[in-house]
Amino acid sequence: MQGLMQKLEKDELLRIEEMKKEIKAEKKIERAHADRLDQEKIVAQRTKELSLLNQEEHSYGLEAQQREQDFLAAQSIQDKKALEAKHAATKANLASLKRRDEIFKRNGESKMKLLKI
């Protein structure tokens, strides 16, 4: 009878140890699950931050393109005005040359008339 009691006590201690191991294993599983949920939250947050950074970068890119277009438009206007000024100067120079030519021509005609007299 005493052997039976010792066997029952031993079985009970083994059962208690087994339960402790199971409780420990369940706690590990719960911690692992909590860690996984935390990691998923971190990944979601980083994904959101990355998306915001990408949107900001895209916005800066569009802004830079717009500034470049504005610069090119202003440069084009400036180039057009410079060409118009050169054209006007060329026209004025041509008119001056024509007047000078006309004066030389008249001067020559006057000299010819004087020589004929």
Closest-CA residue to 9 (of 103, 60, 1) = 1
3-state secondary structure of 30: helix
Q: What is the full per-residue pLDDT of the chain (117 aa) written as tens digits?
A: 788 788 888 889 999 999 999 999 999 999 999 999 999 999 999 999 999 999 999 999 999 999 999 999 999 999 999 999 999 999 999 999 999 999 989 888 888 877 776
So what's the pLDDT on residue 100?
93
d(CA 7, CA 16): 14
Unique residue bearing structure tokens 């610069």: 71
The encoded tokens of residue 106 equal: 């008249």
Q: DSSP H helical segments within the chain, as ranges?
A: 2-116
